């Protein structure tokens, strides 16, 4: 959970709500109940935590401690696929030590957001028997803590990263080869997010490419990847996907994953239409259905 200050060609927003937890949980809540783990400072609005509870998000795992909340300052130029970080203030996140309560330990589906792989492993150590585990990462951890990240990857089923991160992690410059190499590190399923070009899914059974849903105007792409992940994980949880289905029912396993990728692309397309989480707060389930149906028609021959 964080504050973001963002400048894009469409305008600017200062000290707005950001962070993986906010985007992920709101996106996932359209499909399944969510329990979140995080840390905020005394400056974080309690009203927002209360709002999350109205969206079927359990915030009992959010620590409120003395100090200031994580704050990221960034900007985008005409290339909206990549943010330029101007400053990062870790604040209370610098001492974050995730502790899971009993309800969190019994989670069936786990998503490890883009944090220190040591913390990701710490969370996994506390979860009893998850049916499916997914994680995100970034260049900073790939280059800064490669061994720790490799330990995490050995324990996850799904890795969701962008194109540049896939190249860096694998040492390859071809997406097919990159995914093949990364799958030898542990995760059997690789999702490569490609911004305005959509996402690629690599599984033991094959490859699936979903385009991004074309929108008329991109206001702020921040949080699109986390929104994608939230919708993806929410969809697979609602569908009851488990890692065992890859052997027991491979066709259903593949179908659910592909539809989850479409759900992720659609959710991200709404997020980019406004700053912060504002579009997700206004989003109606009927809008999701309409756009998902439209995207399926676009990518089906």
What are the tens digits of pLDDT across the range 99-134?
999 999 999 999 999 999 999 999 999 999 999 999
pLDDT the model gives residue 237: 98
User: Per DSSP, what are the bridge partners of residue 158?
Assistant: 134, 189
The domain spanning residue 194 has which CATH number?
A: 3.40.1190.20
pLDDT the model gives residue 79: 85
Q: Is the pTM of this model over 0.95?
A: yes
Residue 275 · residue 13 · CB < 8 Å: yes
pLDDT the model gives residue 266: 98
pLDDT the model gives residue 178: 98
**Closest C-alpha to 199, from 227, 234, 157, 237:** 227
How many domains, the chain? 1
pLDDT the model gives residue 82: 85
Positions in the chain short of pLDDT 70: none
How many CA atoms lie less than 13 Å away from 171 in the CB half-sphere?
3
Give the DSSP letter of residue 214: P
Give the 3-state DSSP-derived string for 26-69, with helices as H, strands as E and coil as C: HHHCCCCCEEEEEEECCCCCHHHHHHHHHCCEEEEEEEECCCCC
**Closest C-alpha to 24, from 38, 8, 12, 13:** 38
pLDDT the model gives residue 301: 87
Written as six digits, the tokens of 36 are: 């979140």
**Closest C-alpha to 253, from 190, 194, 204, 187:** 204
Could you list the residue range(s) of the whole structural domain that residue 78 is in? 2-299
pLDDT the model gives residue 208: 98
């Amino acid at each position: 959970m964080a504050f973001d200050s963002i400048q894009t060609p469409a305008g600017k927003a200062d000290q707005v709500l950001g962070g993986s937890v906010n985007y992920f949980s709101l996106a996932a809540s359209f499909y399944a109940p969510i329990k979140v783990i995080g840390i905020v400072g005394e400056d974080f609005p309690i009203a927002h935590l209360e709002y999350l509870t109205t969206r079927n998000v359990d915030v009992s795992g959010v620590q409120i401690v003395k100090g200031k909340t994580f704050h990221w300052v960034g900007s985008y130029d005409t290339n909206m696929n990549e943010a330029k970080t101007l400053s990062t203030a870790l604040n209370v996140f610098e001492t974050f030590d995730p502790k899971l309560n009993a309800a969190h330990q019994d989670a069936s589906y786990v998503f490890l957001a883009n944090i220190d792989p040591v913390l990701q492993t710490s969370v996994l150590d506390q979860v009893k028997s998850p049916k499916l585990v997914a994680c995100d990462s970034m260049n900073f951890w790939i280059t800064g803590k490669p061994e720790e990240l490799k330990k995490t990857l050995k324990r996850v089923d799904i890795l969701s990263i962008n194109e540049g991160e896939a190249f860096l992690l694998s040492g390859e410059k071809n997406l097919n080869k990159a995914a093949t190499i990364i799958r030898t590190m542990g995760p059997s399923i690789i999702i490569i997010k490609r911004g305005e070009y959509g996402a690629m899914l690599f599984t033991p059974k094959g490859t699936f490419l979903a385009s991004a849903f074309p929108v008329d105007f991109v206001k702020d792409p921040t949080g699109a990847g986390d929104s994608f992940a939230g919708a993806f994980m929410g969809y697979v949880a609602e569908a009851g996907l488990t890692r065992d289905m890859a052997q027991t029912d491979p066709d259903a396993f593949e179908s659910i994953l592909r539809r989850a990728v479409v759900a992720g692309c659609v959710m991200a397309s709404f997020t980019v239409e406004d700053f912060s989480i504002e579009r997700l707060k206004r989003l109606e389930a009927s809008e999701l259905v309409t756009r998902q149906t439209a995207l399926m028609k676009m990518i089906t021959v």
